[in-house]
C-alpha cells in the first residue's frame, strides 16, 4: 500500500508542478489544485499508514494517529478557499489585462491547450 500511496502522491505532485509552471492562468490554477491534493495526501500519510485501525480509539489500543486528520482537514479548507479565490482572480486578470497569459502578453500564440 505504501508504494501505491507514494506513487499516487508523486504523480499528482509532478503533474501539479508541471501545470503550475505553464504560461496561462487556467493551467496554473489547475496545477495549484493538483498540488494541493498531493500535499493533502502527503499530510495524511505523516501519521503512518495503518489498515483496519479504529477511527478514534478502541479497547485493543490500536488506533490511527488523529492529528494528521485534523491537519488535513484544516489544509483542505484553506486550500479550497484559496483555489476559489485564485479562480476568481484569474478571471479578473483575463478581464482587466485582456489576456490570460501570466505575463500579460497579448501576442496570440498558437493555443497550447487545443492539441
Partner 1 sequence: MQHLIILPVLLPLLAGVTLLIHRGGALTLRRTTNVIATAALVVVGILLVAESSDGVIRYYALGDWQPPFGIILVLDRLSALMVMLTAILALGSLLYACAGDDEQGSNFHGLFQLQLMGINGAFLTGDAFNLFVFFEVLLIASYALLMHGGGKARTHAGFHYVALNLLGSMLFLIALGVLYGTTGTLNMADMAAVIPTLDAGDVGLVKAGALLLLIVFGLKAAMLPLYFWLPRAYAAAPAPVAALFAIMTKVGVYAIIRVYTLIFGEQAGLLANLATPWVWWLALATLALGAVGVLSARDMRTQVAYLILISVGTLLAGVGMESEAALGALLYYLIHTTLVSGGMFLLVDAIAQQRGKAGARIVQSRTLGQPAILGLLFFAGAIAMAGLPPLSGAFGKALLLQAATPAQQVWLWPILLISSLASLIALSRTGSTIFWRASGERTGSSLGRLRGAGVLMLILCAPLMVAFAGPITQFTQATAAQLLDRDAYVQAIIARGATGGDA
* Residue found by looking up cell 489547475 in the block: 30
Which one among 2, 59, 96, 113 touches partner 1, defined by CB under 8 A?
96
Binding mask 41-80 for partner 1 (x = CB under 8 A): -xx-xxxx------------------xx--x--xx--x--
Nearest 10 degrees: CA dihedral of 57, 9, 36, 52? Answer: -10
Query: Is the distance from CB of 25 to CB of 90 less than 8 angstroms?
Result: yes
- How many C-beta atoms surround the C-beta of residue 25 within 10 A? 21
Query: Where are any strands of DSSP class E within the chain?
Result: none
Minimum gap (Å) between residue 104 Cβ and partner 1: 6
Q: Which of residues 19-38 bind partner 1 (CB under 8 A)?
A: 20, 25, 28, 32, 35-36
Residue range at the interface with partner 1 (CB under 8 A); choices 54-62, 89-97, 106-114: 89-97
Amino acid at each position: 500500500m505504501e508504494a501505491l500511496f507514494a506513487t499516487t502522491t508523486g504523480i499528482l505532485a509532478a503533474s501539479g508542478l508541471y501545470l503550475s509552471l505553464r504560461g496561462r492562468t487556467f493551467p496554473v490554477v489547475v496545477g495549484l489544485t493538483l498540488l494541493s491534493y498531493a500535499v493533502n495526501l502527503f499530510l495524511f500519510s505523516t501519521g503512518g499508514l495503518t489498515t483496519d485501525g479504529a477511527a478514534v480509539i478502541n479497547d485493543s489500543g490500536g488506533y490511527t494517529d488523529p492529528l494528521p486528520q485534523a491537519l488535513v482537514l484544516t489544509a483542505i479548507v484553506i486550500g479550497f478557499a484559496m483555489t476559489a479565490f485564485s479562480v476568481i482572480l484569474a478571471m479578473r486578470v483575463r478581464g482587466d489585462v485582456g489576456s490570460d497569459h501570466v505575463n500579460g502578453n497579448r501576442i496570440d500564440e498558437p493555443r497550447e491547450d487545443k492539441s
